[in-house]
């Protein structure tokens, strides 16, 4: 099983929630980084700040399906839209736990920052459905 931190459209109530069916919810979490608005979805990038999301346990087959959804080209980071990287949970009951997450793998120049790092809150604030 892989511990996976999700922060955007894969979360419950958002448009790709069905992709997480079968994953085991482990809890809410925050990890270091920042979010940017990419239009219909957010991008996680390394940087100052905290990103709010949830941690799930997923098996290898599920992780491979999610890689396809997120545009990961196995073994080819340059061709990947997102890339899975390890980050560490910074607070709550899972504090200190290493987890994987999808990091946006394209330039973010000109993208709007989601300063508070909470995608659900952001789409409510801007009045966008996801």
In CATH, what number is assigned to the domain containing residue 70? Answer: 3.10.490.10
State how many domains the chain has. Answer: 1
Active site annotation includes 19: no
pTM, full prediction: 0.94
- Predicted local distance difference test score (pLDDT) of residue 127: 84
80: its two tokens: 């990947």
Kindly give the parts of the chain with pLDDT less than 70: 129-130
| Residue range of the domain that includes 27 | 2-126
Annotated catalytic residue: which of 70, 85, 125, 129?
Answer: 70
- Predicted local distance difference test score (pLDDT) of residue 99: 98
Contacts of 20 (CB under 8 A, 6+ apart): 6, 10, 11, 12, 56
């Amino acid at each position: 099983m892989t511990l996976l931190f999700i922060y955007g459209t894969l979360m419950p109530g958002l448009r790709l929630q069905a992709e997480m069916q079968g994953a085991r919810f482990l809890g809410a979490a925050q990890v270091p980084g920042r979010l940017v608005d990419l239009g219909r979805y957010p991008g996680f990038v390394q940087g100052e700040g905290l990103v709010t999301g949830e941690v799930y346990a997923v098996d290898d087959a599920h992780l491979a399906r999610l890689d396809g959804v997120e545009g990961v080209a196995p073994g080819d980071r340059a061709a990947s839209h997102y890339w899975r990287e390890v980050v560490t949970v910074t607070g709550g009951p899972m504090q200190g736990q290493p987890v994987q997450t999808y990091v946006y793998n394209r330039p973010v120049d000109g993208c709007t920052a989601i300063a508070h790092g909470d995608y659900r809150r952001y789409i409510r604030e801007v009045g966008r459905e996801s």
